[in-house]
Amino acid sequence: MLTVRACAKINLTLEVLGRYPDGYHQIASVMQLINLSDTLTFEASDRLQLRCDIPQLVGDDNLVLQAARLLQEAARCRQGALISLQKGIPVNSGLGGGSSDAAATMKALNEFWKLDLPRQQLEALSAKVGSDVLFFLDGGTALVEGRGEKVTPLPSLPRHWVVLLKPPFDVPRKTPGMYNRLDSSHFTSGQFTQTLVECLEKGERFDGSLCYNAFEQVAFSFFHGLEEHQQSFLAAGAGWVRLSGSGPSLFTLVEDRATAEMICSKLKGKAYLAGTL
């Protein structure tokens, strides 16, 4: 039996630079791994099976099963596994939970099935599962470009506390829908991401004014009530609040634990407390 953790991410910046002919978008993003996590357990089995504490997530489209099948095919492997997924990351929330589960599954099954697939092959397979999956192979703080397939490690963001608010919106096929709502007025040149990258490389002080998210405008008009959640987050003491991914999760970063706990307690059980990794 093998048990691994799959951690969430936040986007410190998320810029959309343009649209490729196939409809995908070119992004520039600084992604940051945080210690809010799902847990995956792998046990020997003659076939591939997934169990989850949220049963609605068990289906052929689950990225864990897609990752496992791709690995089986690539390694011509006939082994199965009983995979148990315990969700700690809110689902469909802009925190990358599904992508992180897929990356964790690839790494774990490569070991559990003793496949020894080289790193390069895992990278190629992870990009097939989803645009964000490659980032989660190593996590940390990274510059993510292209569709997500170009990942460059950055110096770690100094440790911060992360307060997250996941408003109760659940929209099927949310990510493509949010990308479709963007037009060229939401595109930027990558300058916000570049400024943050320089700040991290020079070891300069980080603050929330360096964060940016191209989806905020469309998210605030699409998710009715998101603005009220942002206002209550600010009223609870957050100096600034940003959207993660295509939403609807909102986050702020603070340096000290007492402030983070105070904001969390004022949000009365609606918030998650985590830390950057």
Site residues, ligand C5P (CB under 6 A)? 24-25, 27, 130-132, 147-148, 175-176, 179
Is the CB of 173 or the CB of 202 nearer to ligand C5P? 173
Q: How far is the CB of 254 from ligand C5P (least distance, A)?
A: 30
Q: Is 207 a catalytic residue?
A: no
Spot the catalytic one: 38, 107, 132, 166.
Answer: 132
Q: Is 132 a catalytic residue?
A: yes
Degrees to nearest 5, angle at CA 20 with 19 and 24:
80
Token code pair at residue 16: 């959309």
Spot the catalytic one: 9, 107, 166, 174.
Answer: 9
Q: Which residues contact 113 (CB under 8 A, 6 or more apart)?
A: 71, 75, 77, 79, 81
Helices (H), the chain: 63-74, 97-112, 119-129, 133-138, 174-180, 191-202, 216-222, 226-235, 257-266
Locate tokens 């992604």: which residue?
A: 31
Q: How far is the CB of 175 from ligand C5P (least distance, A)?
A: 4
Q: How far is the CB of 48 from ligand C5P (least distance, A)?
A: 20
Is the CB of 96 or the CB of 167 nearer to ligand C5P? 96
Residue type, 101: D
Whole-angstrom CA distances from 163 to 102, 148, 151, 253 are: 25, 25, 25, 6
Q: How far is the CB of 258 from ligand C5P (least distance, A)?
A: 37
Is the CB of 40 or the CB of 102 nearer to ligand C5P? 102
**Eight-state DSSP code of residue 155:** P
Is the CB of 22 or the CB of 116 nearer to ligand C5P? 22
- Burial bucket for residue 256 (CB in 10 Å: 0-12, 13-18, 19+): exposed
Residue type, 212: Y
Is the CB of 87 or the CB of 147 nearer to ligand C5P? 147
Paired strand residues for 5: 39
Q: How far is the CB of 130 from ligand C5P (least distance, A)?
A: 4
**Residues annotated as part of the active site:** 9, 132
